[in-house]
A and B are shown apart, each in its own frame.
Chain A
Amino acid sequence: MKMKKKKSKYVSYAKWGYIFLIPFFLVYIVFSLLPLLSTFYNSFFENYMVGLQHVGPKFVGFANYASIFSNAELGTYFKNTFILWVLGFIPQIIFALLLASWFTDLRLRLKCQGFFKTVIYLPNLIMASAFSMLFYTIFADMGPINNVLEAIGLPSYRFLSEIAGTRGLIALMNFLMWFGNTTIVLMAAIMGIDTGLFEAARIDGANSLQIFGKITLPLIKPIMAYTLITSLIGGIQMFDVPQILTNGNGNPNRTSMTLIMYLNKHLYSKNYGMAGALSVILFIITGILSILVYHYLTSGMEKAGVRKSKKNKVKGA
């Protein structure tokens, strides 16, 4: 009798596990899976508003996809998005690595670390839209930056009318907003490394650069990959900063129009068909990229696993 009770208790633990998982799956199905599937469904219809008149819904097969691919705009916006992401990500990862290794360096023993960590994280707390409005005002044709340039005798620069100016500002904002976050993630990764490794290297006469290149970097590689993926997915969905800075136009000449800004353009006419088709294409692109990165990451882990098991064998023998 007692035995039986124990057994049933053991089984019910697993059951509770599943029950506790239900809310997640419920929320996921209602708010993610169903909208996703209905996007696929909507993409096959002509369905939009012209003023107060509703056109469609009419089944048109792959016509929406055909019209997206036929005007070759998608490639341009994909390229824009990628350029904007790379421009922001490269300085972001460099600065984050530098700061993270300084903050965690045992010999430097920086003071007021908490203060600095807070300060570099602060830009991320400002709303992206407020941040873009601020930059829009500061870098306006007759804004403070141009006033300063003129005051020190330099020619004024119309930032938001130049491709380099606009893209540069967007990249700068993304960099400022996210480098603090990346720094903290990387610091956590570096602090996870056994300090004995650093001490041993130093006793062996390695300099800081060698320690960083030969010990720190290889050991935080998985976290770097994680940073890369999250940043990449965030990059594909880049919207708020360029949307507000360029007033939704991606000017000049649509060179700072990102994929999601293009998607947003279909909102005006509530064009479910075109927006749906575009979303499906984005879904597929993001899917492919994620699979590629995931594959790269897991294969790296397997290698590490192999090495570990070999070591154990040697130890055992």
Chain B
Amino acid sequence: MKRKISSLVLVVMMLVMTVAGCGNNSASSSGSTVETAADKQGKVLNIYCWNTEFQDRFEYFKSTGKLPSDVTVNFVVTPNENNAYQNALDAALLKQNEAPADEKIDMFLIEADYALKYVDSDYTLNVNDIGLTKDDVKDQYQYTQDIVTDKNGVLKGVTWQATPGLFVYRRSIAKDVLGTDDPDKVQAALATWDKFDSVAAQASSKGYKMLSGYDDSYRVFSNNVSAPWVDANNKIQIDPNIMKWIDQTKTYTDKNYNNKSKLWDTTWAADQGPKGQVFGFFYSTWGINFTLLGNALETPEKEGGKQEVGNGIFGDYATCTGPQSYYWGGTWLCAAAGTDNANLVKDIMQTLTCDATTMKKITEDTQDYTNTVSGMQSLANSDFKSAFLGGQNHIKLFAEAAPKIDMKNMSAYDQGLNEELQKAMHDYFDGKVTKEKALENFYTAAIEKYPNLTK
């Protein structure tokens, strides 16, 4: 009897679970019908993001007076760490259809590394559908649109910033090693990877390190790959350019050209400061004015230090293009399918990402490099000077680098695979495993993350 009852309970439970399993359908509203009638717009605007950066930018939109006074703006902030932002966003998007109109996501922010995950889904709206025309976005950098264009060629997002990267070097070390700190001459010495390697050898012979750590040059290589991470059959393919990064970094490590640090760790930050002995860093727009500047000061601003020559190595950095153009970072705005504030989302996008006047003002206020070709070109040709970079007009170099960025070979798996490759290779650089074993560890970790991929 007891056995009968317990088996009955089991059967019932399994049935219940089967039914529950069927309840998950991944279909969502196709997004073809966007409500733009003025009288059908919602009163609550929900924006998903991972930090307060966009809230600051949003002030520029508010100041135009286009935000209706009866609309409440909700910023739902989930920090980026350990994928928490994407997890929260995914959970909310999966419930988007059932959520009441005022709780639906209207707009969310994404980063390039995982952009295609959202862009290739039905959860993002075609920006043309909400009213942004091709003409509106024509002044944006092409690569910023390539990153958020889906497989059918539809533009699904826009950004107010472009983030081309440069090689930032220490003027004093360049003088010691190359005999000059002039950006043009230093660029000539670093124009190809072969030249870069020979400068590394020279720097090393004088007791300097060329780069701080393992991952410093990764983006430069990974942005210039010849094919996406994953092919049409879901097979992971490691690009020859990525293999070049592995070999170069191993050589640099074995020859002591780098300081064995990892991105964002304390060694890496210290290498950028007054005690650092590192020739230079690959950094993009935001990294120079925020991260690098902060690290370069002897007395941090929190402790009353000023951004001026004499505080640490302020003024001792300069930039050049480096061996290859690349970008790093950036934040895109996407309109969520099912939004009841399409008109407002369109106004925000238009003001922040298409209006050259607003964007130029953002650049002048914050030194953020904005996504307007004409606006940045005019700044590049002006007498704009960065005191931190010893009076150099680095906007000019950014403006030259940005159009060269080619992001056609992105995949939805970039974030996970980039991270796992870097982690797996650290063991190889440390001399703990062979290259084959490190690659094997990478495949293991990659397939754990994405069970649909194959080696």
Contact = CB atoms under 8 A, between A and B. Distances in A.
B and A form one assembly: yes
B261 interface: yes
- Chain A contact-residue range equals 35 or more
Interface residues of B, number: 42
A49 B94 CA distance: 12
Contact of B452 (A55, A141, A143, A254): A55
A268 B267 contact: no
B122 to A, nearest CB: 9
Given A52-B117, A141-B267, A251-B423, A268 B449 contact: yes
B451 A252 contact: no
Contact of A51 (B412, B430, B437, B438): B412
Interface in B4-51: 10, 13-14, 17, 21, 24, 26
Interface of A: 34, 37-38, 41, 45, 47-55, 57, 71, 73, 137, 140-143, 158, 161, 163, 248-249, 251-254, 265-266, 268-269, 271, 274
B432 A252 contact: yes
Nearest to B429: A161
B267 A142 contact: yes
A140 B265 contact: yes
A37 B123 contact: no
Nearest to B116: A51
7 contacts: A48-B451, A142-B267, A158-B260, A252-B430, A253-B433, A265-B445, A266-B448
Contacts of A249: 423, 445
B83 A52 contact: no
A254 B441 contact: yes
Contacts of A48: 451-452
A49 B448 CA distance: 12
A37 B7 CA distance: 12
A269 B260 contact: no
B230 to A, nearest CB: 11
Query: B83, B265, B438, B449 — which one has the most chain A CB atoms within 10 A of its CB?
Result: B449
B403 interface: no
Contact of A142 (B93, B270, B426, B444): B270
A141 B261 contact: yes
A25 to B, nearest CB: 13
Nearest to B423: A249
B450 interface: yes
A274 B120 CA distance: 26
B427 A41 contact: no
Contact of A38 (B17, B117, B423, B449): B17
Contact of B432 (A55, A71, A161): A161
Contacts of B426: 161, 251-252
Given A71-B444, A252-B430, A269 B450 contact: yes
Contacts of A41: 13-14, 17
Contacts of A158: 260, 430
B451 A141 contact: no
A159 to B, nearest CB: 12
Contacts, number: 92
Contacts of A52: 26, 90, 93-94, 117-118, 121, 123
A56 B291 CA distance: 43
A140 B449 contact: no
Given A141-B261, A253-B433, A268 B448 contact: yes
Interface centre among A52, A140, A161, A163 (most CB of B within 10 A): A52
Given A141-B267, A269-B451, 9 more contacts: A41-B13, A51-B120, A51-B121, A53-B26, A54-B26, A73-B444, A140-B265, A140-B267, A161-B430
B310 interface: no
Nearest to B213: A141
Contacts of A269: 448-451
B69 interface: no
B233 interface: no
B266 interface: yes
B416 interface: yes
Given A57-B21, A158-B260, A268-B449, A37 B93 contact: no
Contact of A268 (B14, B83, B114, B438): B83
Nearest to B89: A52
Given A51-B412, A253-B427, A265-B445, A140 B94 contact: no
Contacts of A248: 82
Interface string B106-150: 000000001001101101000000000000000000000000000
Interface string B70-103: 0000000000001100000010011000000000
A274 B24 CA distance: 19
A53 B427 CA distance: 33
Contact of B265 (A38, A55, A141, A252): A141
A140 B83 contact: no
Given A140-B265, A141-B261, A34 B432 contact: no
B117 A51 contact: yes
A163 B412 contact: no
A203 to B, nearest CB: 59
Contacts of B441: 253-254
B451 A34 contact: no
Nearest to B419: A249
A242 to B, nearest CB: 15
A265 B446 CA distance: 10
A268 B416 contact: yes
Contacts of A268: 83, 416, 448-449
